Amino acid sequence: MALGMVLDPTATRADDIASPGPDAGLLAGKRIGFRLDRMWRAWDWISEQWADKFRAAGAEVSFWRSGGRSGDEGERMEQSYKEFLATIDVAVVGLANCGSCTGWTVRDAITAANTGLPTTAIATKNFELFAHEIATRGGRSGLRVHVLPYPLNERLRDEVLTIGEAHFNGVLETMGAHLTAKKDHAA
């Protein structure tokens, strides 16, 4: 009789990090980096809208746009992303809005979180569970994921910006961020 081994594909990683990582805290004076891609104009619009609000609160904002992810270009992208992460204090990574985009969004969010940066991945509703599953498989089950409605990219700019406005306070909460100094109620 031959012996076989059955692997459980639902098993958790022994090295999983269930913590969401550090809160972003007060954003004034911090450098916030948005990770974009080439696919989702709606994410471009929302990230710029949120960036304007972060700037108004005293933060600096920069953007990094991913490109090809294989071969020589992929190696350049990986190096460029690591260099970008070294210039920021908080990472906002999007957009998980299709299968491969969700994979790369979560991968890049995990890379940022593994450097110790407060990190939030942005996903649309249809890809929320997939984003959490990929984060778990990547060893960061606690990764912060803020969810926007789906469909998103198919909407007109004004409608997308209305959604971005409606989600701004929620993304701050997901990030563990605030725009103004918290008042000390103990005094």
Domain count, the chain: 1
- Whichever domain contains 165, its CATH number is 3.40.50
Task: Evaluate whether residue 55 is within a structural domain.
Answer: yes
How confident is the model at residue 186, as a pLDDT? 53
Task: Evaluate whether residue 11 is within a structural domain.
Answer: no
Over the chain, what is the mean pLDDT? Answer: 94
Percent of the chain with pLDDT over 90: 86
The number of residues making up the chain comes to: 187
pLDDT in tens, 24-83: 999 999 999 999 999 999 999 999 999 999 999 999 999 999 998 899 999 999 999 999
Task: Evaluate whether residue 18 is within a structural domain.
Answer: no
How confident is the model at residue 187, as a pLDDT? 47
Task: Evaluate whether residue 6 is within a structural domain.
Answer: no
Long-range CB contact pairs, 75-83, < 8 A, 24+: 81/35, 81/108, 81/111, 82/111
Task: Evaluate whether residue 76 is within a structural domain.
Answer: yes
3-class SS of residue 138: coil
How confident is the model at residue 10, as a pLDDT? 67
2-11, 52-61, 91-100, 169-178: range with lowest mean pLDDT: 2-11
Task: Evaluate whether residue 124 is within a structural domain.
Answer: yes
9 upstream amide cis, omega within 30 of 0:
no
Task: Evaluate whether residue 78 is within a structural domain.
Answer: yes
Query: Which residue from 112, 94, 103, 87 is spatially nearest to 50, judged by alpha carbons?
Result: 94
pLDDT in tens, 89-115: 999 999 999 999 999 999 999 999 999
**Domain housing 162:** 27-175
Task: Evaluate whether residue 186 is within a structural domain.
Answer: no
Check whether 184 has a pLDDT greater than 60.
Answer: no
pTM: 0.92
Residue 169 to residues 53, 92, 162, 173: CA-CA distances in angstroms? 11, 14, 13, 6
How sure is the predictor about 12, in pLDDT bands with cuts at 50, 70 and 90? confident
